[in-house]
Amino acid sequence: MSTSLRTRLSSLRYAASAFTLLLTGCVSGPDHVPPDMPLPAKFVEGGNKSNGDVATAEWWTAYRDKKLDGLVAYGLSDNLDVLQALESINSASANVTVAGAGALPRLTIDGSHTLSGEKGRLRTTVGTTNTTGGDVGLSWLLDVFGQYRRSKESAIASLGAAYATADNAKLTFLKDLVESYIDARYYQERIALSQANLKSRQQTYELTQLQLKAGAASRLDVVQAEGLVQSTKADIPGLEQSFTESAHHIATLLGMPAAASLTDELRKNAGQPVFRGDIRAGIPADLIRNRPDIRKAERELAAAVADIGAAEAQLYPSISLSGSISPSWVKSSGASGASLTSWSFGPTLNLPIFDGGKLRANVDIEKSDARTQYLAWKATVLNGVEEVENALAAVRHDTQTLGPLRRQVQTAQEALALSTTSYKDGASSLLDVLDAQRSVSDAQESLATTVQQVAKDYVDLYVAIGAGYLEPEQAASRQTAKSG
């Protein structure tokens, strides 16, 4: 590039920069202010202490189940829904660059070389011309009223919403995985109880057959005892199927095919998970910081507010600077070469005068979208408070039923033992034994179901407060990025 060309380009650059500096600070539209709404000082069944940041709280470890801990650690990095949400961050990040590019100068360079000539009848060359040319173009749309600055603000807010969406995907994964694991263990417990009850009822059936031979029982007694045995056998395949489906769903959540290997691995431990941690509900104000869906709604509101400014900027004149330098060199056969340089520079003013109300309507649309996003944010906050309140109430009420149900199982088992002994002695009928066996089965099933529900109540609570979706390393890197 020649010295004169560099000088002209430098002049264009400095002139545009100076003009922009004169108009700095003129940005259309309102600035985003984080929304606020009155919230109660505490949850109805909670305390007055704030939770602080619970993004890294590994609440599932309170079930004290190493297998569950391993599944969570594996799935957070391999769940397909989480990976899709993380990939959307890359797209949102690229959109930030795209949105801000319009406010930056554009420099293009073109080059060409042409060889031309003429031929006579005897294939002789009459003349040959070599033409070498180039073109350097510079254009800059001055962002006088902040259209591109607002567009970039909107893109940055959308990037924040993408991060929150990924966090919410992790939280949704945690809820689905832990609850599916609780379900799998519940069905295992039900299978074990059914198999134990089947053994007891088989013994009663065999005892009734012996008493029939001794004349101490009727054929009706034998048929009733056998019917209860067959009914218990019929329950087990359905429970097995439910366990298998839960195991298959866990495999899918982990990003792997529904394989028999994971199902066989889950069969090794049949204990129902029991939460052994503290209840940390925090206060309603914590939700605005901790719940990803609320942060996502707030970022979407920020993007909508920025879009108002971008739309308003289009109501005003736009100024662009453009210039070009086109050097060329031409050499004909038999003649010396000659060079020619043409250049141009000047501003362009675009003033919208009449557009049928389109630009003003675009502003109204963006304002309406911003109001809609604000209402969506409020609805998300209120929904979060409701979910925490419901989870706290469920934990308290369901936990209160565990003690009576455990006692009910004990009394039913004691009644079964007494009725069986009495039947063997001939002091009571087989119907008493069968009723006692049904009572034991029903009480055990109710207890197992409640243990399952209480375990899920804690899942609902900690997901509702927005806990556990970030690993400590991720939280540290985000904090570093924010401070930087």
pLDDT of residue 127: 66
Q: Mean pLDDT throughout 469-484?
A: 66
Q: Which of 100-104, 175-179, 358-362, 479-483 has the lowest mean pLDDT?
A: 479-483
Instruction: Tell me how far apart the alpha carbons of residues 327 and 26 are, in angstroms, rounded to a whole number.
Output: 38
Mention every residue, 6+ apart, whose C-beta is less than 8 A from residue 305: 29, 30, 31, 32, 370
Alpha helices in 117-218 (DSSP H): 147-213
Q: State the amino acid at position 441 in one-letter form.
A: S
Mention every residue, 6+ apart, whose C-beta is less than 8 A from residue 394: 453, 457, 460
Q: Mean pLDDT throughout 421-426?
A: 86
Q: Mean pLDDT throughout 299-317?
A: 94
Buried b (16+ CB within 10 A) or exposed e, 329-346: eeeeeeeeeeeeeeeeee
pLDDT of residue 476: 61
Torsion of CA 442, 445, 449, 455, to 10 degrees: 130
Q: Measure CA 218 to chain center.
A: 64
Q: Mean pLDDT throughout 275-281?
A: 90
CATH number of 1-25+104-142+317-351: 2.20.200
Task: Render pLDDT for 430-454 as a digit per residue (tens, 0 to 9).
Answer: 888 999 999 999 999 999 999 999 9
Task: Render pLDDT for 20-66 as a digit per residue (tens, 0 to 9).
Answer: 444 445 789 999 999 999 999 999 998 899 988 999 999 999 999 99
State yes or no: pLDDT of 408 exceeds 70.
Answer: yes
Say whether 127 sits in a helix, a strand or coil: strand
State yes or no: pLDDT of 350 exceeds 90.
Answer: no
pLDDT of residue 25: 52
Instruction: Compute the residue count for the chain.
Output: 484
Report percent pLDDT > 70 for the chain.
Answer: 89
User: How confident is residue 481, by pLDDT bands cut at 50, 70 and 90?
Assistant: low
Instruction: Identify the residue with better confidence: 36 or 113.
Output: 36
Neighbours of 91 (CB within 10 A): 11
125-142 and 106-119: which strand pairing? antiparallel
Q: Residues 31-103+145-316+359-483: name the CATH superfamily.
A: Outer membrane efflux proteins (OEP) (1.20.1600.10)
State yes or no: pLDDT of 5 exceeds 50.
Answer: no
Q: Could you tell me if 370 and 307 are in contact, meaning their C-beta atoms sit under 8 angstroms apart?
A: yes
DSSP 280-306: ----HHHHHHH-HHHHHHHHHHHHHHH
Q: State the amino acid at position 436 in one-letter form.
A: A
Task: Render pLDDT for 213-265 as a digit per residue (tens, 0 to 9).
Answer: 888 788 998 999 999 999 999 999 999 999 999 999 999 999 988 777 888 88
User: How confident is residue 325, by pLDDT bands cut at 50, 70 and 90?
Assistant: confident
Q: Which of 74-83, 191-200, 331-340, 355-364 has the lowest mean pLDDT?
A: 331-340
Say whether 451 sits in a helix, a strand or coil: helix
Q: Could you tell me if 113 and 129 are in contact, meaning their C-beta atoms sit under 8 angstroms apart?
A: no
pLDDT of residue 261: 84
Report domain extents, the chain. Answer: 1-25+104-142+317-351, 31-103+145-316+359-483
User: How confident is residue 120, by pLDDT bands cut at 50, 70 and 90?
Assistant: low
Average pLDDT, the chain: 87
Q: Could you tell me if 440 and 409 are in contact, meaning their C-beta atoms sit under 8 angstroms apart?
A: yes
Alpha helices in 39-106 (DSSP H): 66-78, 80-101
Residue among 466, 113, 43 nearest 292 (CA): 466
